[in-house]
């Protein structure tokens, strides 16, 4: 989502998760309006839809990797991110992890750098490396600012919760509530704490 945020000038947090569809012959995407009749607090209607077409997903991923290997800076970060997203569609988790690591290694700053780092942390978590993911998310939470730092801390709490490290998750959610009492993400933290129960 980082490259689309850069392209549109929207914060990465406004984006939805990538949705993947596979069309059969004679199927198509038709022009239509998206409208939700119900919205959660803080949600808004969809403003933009970006379509990317890949008919040969693995070939597309490999091409993005080749571009990334020749590029530097922001261009390399974006190419690695696109490669990772394509490998996700192909179901190649090891290649996903390597591509997100490549994006993170570029050291981009701002929204793109945050997106690369947080995506790499998510891939680490998905691979079972909870400690590696938590170290990266903690760095983002402690060195970032604004909504990026808040999102990193929330993601850290969720990472621990998903890994059944309940005490650590509860501690991170509590830290979030103390550090960011007016955050737009506070309701998600409250829900997380409710899921975990009172505990000690």
For the chain, the structural domain boundaries read 1-109, 128-200
pTM value is: 0.72
Backbone angles phi, psi at 73, to 5 degrees: 60, -135
Low-confidence stretches of the chain (pLDDT < 70) are 1-14, 17, 23, 25, 29, 32-39, 42-43, 53-55, 198-200
The domain 128-200 having CATH identifier 3.40.50.970: the answer here is no
Over residues 169-193, the pLDDT tens digits come to 999 999 999 999 999 999 999 999 9
Characterize 9-47 residue by residue with b for buried, 16 or more Cβ atoms within 10 angstroms of its Cβ, and e for exposed.
Answer: eeebbebeeeeeeeeeeeeeeeeeeeeeeeeeeeeeeee
What pLDDT score was predicted for residue 24? 72
C-beta separation of 69 from 99 below 8 A? no
Q: pLDDT for 21-54, tens place per residue?
A: 776 767 776 776 666 666 677 667 777 777 776 6
- Single out the residue of 43, 52, 45 nearest to residue 18, CA to CA: 52
State the distance between the two ends of the chain, measured CA to CA, in whole angstroms.
37
Q: Residue count of the chain, please give it.
A: 200
């Amino acid at each position: 989502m980082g490259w689309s945020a850069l392209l549109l000038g929207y914060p990465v947090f406004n984006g939805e998760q990538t949705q993947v569809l596979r069309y059969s012959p004679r199927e198509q995407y038709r022009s239509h309006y998206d409208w939700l009749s119900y919205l959660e607090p803080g949600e808004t209607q969809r403003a933009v839809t970006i379509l990317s077409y890949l008919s040969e997903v693995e070939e597309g991923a490999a091409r993005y990797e080749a571009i990334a290997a020749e590029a530097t800076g922001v261009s390399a970060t974006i190419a690695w991110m696109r490669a990772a997203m394509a490998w996700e569609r192909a179901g190649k988790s090891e290649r996903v992890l390597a591509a997100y690591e490549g994006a993170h290694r570029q050291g981009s700053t701002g929204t793109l750098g945050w997106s690369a780092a947080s995506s790499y942390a998510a891939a680490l978590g998905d691979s079972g490396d909870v400690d590696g993911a938590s170290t990266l998310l903690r760095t983002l939470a402690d060195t970032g600012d604004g909504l990026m730092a808040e999102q990193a801390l929330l993601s850290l709490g969720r990472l621990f919760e998903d890994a059944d490290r309940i005490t650590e998750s509860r501690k991170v959610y509590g830290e979030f509530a103390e550090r960011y009492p007016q955050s737009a993400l506070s309701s998600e933290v409250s829900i997380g704490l409710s899921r975990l129960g009172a505990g000690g």
